[in-house]
């Protein structure tokens, strides 16, 4: 008698998302593909531009691929300083049970390790531009506008290990065929089309509806947006305890190897730039709130918040906790204070101050990105990192 084959639920769950056939997505509205007449020279954000910058302009740091995307593209990072020399004697979870994180971090637990990454979602350009300009500051003391950032330079010199990933989701960024999106007034239609994708009829998938289907079937949409990789998976919401995507595996392997104190995950999707309260260890929440206050006060001083009242704008109580996502996975994997930062977009005005629309310029958005990294790096230097944040209980 022929045996029947049974497929268990576990087997179905363990099936990896398959790389989807390359498509041209020829139905993108022609008007959406028109870029601004002038793109600022500092706006370096496409895969080709970032690749050229890393190859030609990075000399102090070491450029290395940490892995490949689902579509086979290299994920490149820049490393400065020296890593932690040796592993500790236990797992991160074990160190929490032992009540001394030094047992995980190892003999050089006092080293300060900073990790910044951008473009986990490929249609979000601001973080890429900020990361590239941060690299320029570290390399030369000046951003790509020629502006000096002495506080960044001073902080970087005191950080033992600095890791920057300009484009984490290279598949998603390569799919979006624009260097910069023309300003659309108050409409975010075009931005969402290229970021979260569009249905077969051309209407936007929308947020958070775009997260309903992971992996996303590219044959059922007019354009999948930059959220997913070439397997259709939004790696911010990967199957972290199942079969992970190669991008996620590369990031988590890097986290385990480098054991960062602080990670900054730069996104676009807010009225005003602000860090989100990630779903992470409760013991790190007071430190998130300390970082939040200093960032938001600095943003307010720079005119990047609804008011210039730093005390009013820096209350962390208004930040509700995010859901389980990549930042949670990083924190629980290596103990980092994992922070996601949302930035306004360059291509539409969706914020109000005193009843008036606010249109942040590309220059202001770059300032916001660099201020964010500046304050995060200074915070790490001044507070001493994970070994100081949760001393032996």
Could you tell me if residue 23 is inside a domain?
A: no
pTM: 0.94
Domain of 172, CATH number, reads 3.40.630.10
Return the pLDDT at 197: 97
Backbone angles phi, psi at 222, to 5 degrees: -75, -40
Q: What is the pLDDT of residues 223-245, one digit of tens each?
A: 999 999 999 999 999 999 999 99
Domain coverage including residue 148: 42-389
Return the pLDDT at 18: 85
Sheet holding 337-343, edge to edge: 62-68, 74-81, 161-165, 113-118, 262-268, 337-343, 274-276
Q: Average pLDDT over the chain, rounded to whole?
A: 94
Q: Quick check: 14 pLDDT over 60?
A: no
Could you tell me if residue 28 is inside a domain?
A: no
Return the pLDDT at 80: 98
Return the pLDDT at 228: 98
Could you tell me if residue 74 is inside a domain?
A: yes
Neighbours of 392 (CB within 10 A): 11
Could you tell me if residue 287 is inside a domain?
A: yes
Return the pLDDT at 5: 43
Q: Quick check: 355 pLDDT over 90?
A: no
Could you tell me if residue 32 is inside a domain?
A: no
- Whole-number Å distance between alpha carbons of 339 and 201: 36
What is the maximum span of the chain, computed from C-alpha positions, in angstroms? 79
Between residues 211 and 12, which one has the greater pLDDT?
211
Q: How far is CA 362 from CA 39, 41, 314, in A?
A: 9, 11, 24
Return the pLDDT at 24: 81
Could you tell me if residue 8 is inside a domain?
A: no
Could you tell me if residue 82 is inside a domain?
A: yes
Could you tell me if residue 341 is inside a domain?
A: yes
Backbone angles phi, psi at 140, to 5 degrees: -125, -10
Neighbours of 315 (CB within 10 A): 12
Number of domains in the chain: 1
């Amino acid at each position: 008698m022929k045996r029947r084959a049974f497929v268990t639920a576990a087997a179905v769950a363990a099936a990896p998302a398959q790389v989807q056939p390359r498509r041209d997505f020829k139905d993108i509205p022609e008007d959406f593909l028109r870029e601004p007449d002038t793109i600022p020279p500092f706006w370096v954000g496409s895969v080709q531009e970032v690749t050229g910058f890393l190859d030609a302009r990075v000399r102090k740091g070491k450029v290395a691929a940490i892995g490949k995307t689902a579509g086979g593209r290299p994920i490149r990072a820049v490393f400065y300083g020296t890593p932690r020399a040796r592993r500790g004697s236990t797992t991160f979870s074990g160190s929490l049970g032992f009540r001394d994180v030094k047992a995980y971090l190892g003999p050089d637990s006092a080293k300060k390790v900073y990790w910044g990454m951008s473009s986990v979602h490929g249609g979000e350009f601001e973080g890429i531009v900020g990361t590239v300009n941060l690299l320029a500051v570290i390399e030369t003391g000046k951003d790509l506008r020629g502006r000096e950032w002495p506080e960044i330079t001073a902080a970087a010199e005191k950080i033992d290990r600095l890791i920057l990933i300009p484009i984490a989701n290279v598949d998603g960024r390569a799919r979006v065929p624009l260097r910069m999106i023309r300003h659309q007034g108050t409409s975010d239609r075009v931005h969402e089309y290229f970021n979260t994708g569009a249905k077969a009829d051309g209407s936007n998938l929308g947020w958070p509806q775009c997260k309903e289907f992971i992996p996303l079937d590219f044959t059922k949409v007019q354009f999948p947006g930059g959220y997913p990789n070439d397997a259709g998976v939004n790696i911010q919401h990967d199957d972290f305890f199942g079969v992970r995507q190669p991008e996620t595996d590369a990031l988590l392997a890097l986290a385990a190897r480098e054991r960062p104190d602080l990670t900054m995950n730069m996104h676009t999707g807010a009225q005003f730039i602000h860090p989100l309260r990630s779903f992470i260890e409760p013991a790190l929440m007071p430190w998130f709130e300390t970082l939040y206050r200093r960032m938001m006060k600095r943003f307010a001083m720079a005119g990047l918040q609804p008011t210039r009242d730093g005390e009013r704008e820096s209350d962390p109580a208004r930040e509700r906790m995010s859901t389980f996502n990549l930042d949670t996975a990083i924190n629980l994997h290596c103990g980092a204070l994992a922070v996601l930062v949302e930035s306004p977009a360059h291509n539409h005005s969706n914020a109000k101050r005193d009843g008036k629309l606010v249109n942040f310029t590309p220059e202001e958005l770059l300032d916001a990105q660099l201020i964010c990294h500046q304050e995060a790096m200074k915070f790490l230097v001044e507070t001493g990192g994970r070994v100081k944040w949760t001393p032996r209980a």
